[in-house]
Amino acid sequence: MMTKYVRKNDYEAIQLDGEWIILDADNYTVTKLNETGGFCWSLFTEAQSIETLMHAVRDRYKQVDETIEQDLEAFLSDLYQCGLIENAS
């Protein structure tokens, strides 16, 4: 069974000039994401696995390099370590 993740809280997120800023008022942190990261972040309103994220990114951006799986694993790990997402199970 694949691990799925969701947002830990309803964080304030704003989009500015192709970047996303996520504000965690509880922990006083600001996380900046690029456009692709922000797109993935917008999907975390529902449980997402690495596979569902890969399909969504490929559908949205059409041309994706072969490192997408490793990039998404690192992205999920970073968001998890920052406390922004949690296991959906």
In a structure prediction context, what are the per-residue pLDDT tens digits for the chain, which is 89 residues long? Answer: 689 999 998 899 999 998 999 999 888 999 999 999 999 999 999 999 999 999 999 999 987 788 888 999 999 999 999 999 999 97
What is the Cα–Cα distance from 21 to 52, expressed in whole angstroms?
23
CATH code of 38's domain: 1.10.10
What is the Cα–Cα distance from 77 to 84, expressed in whole angstroms?
10
Give the domain range for residue 67. Answer: 5-87
Work out how many domains the chain is built from and give that number: 1
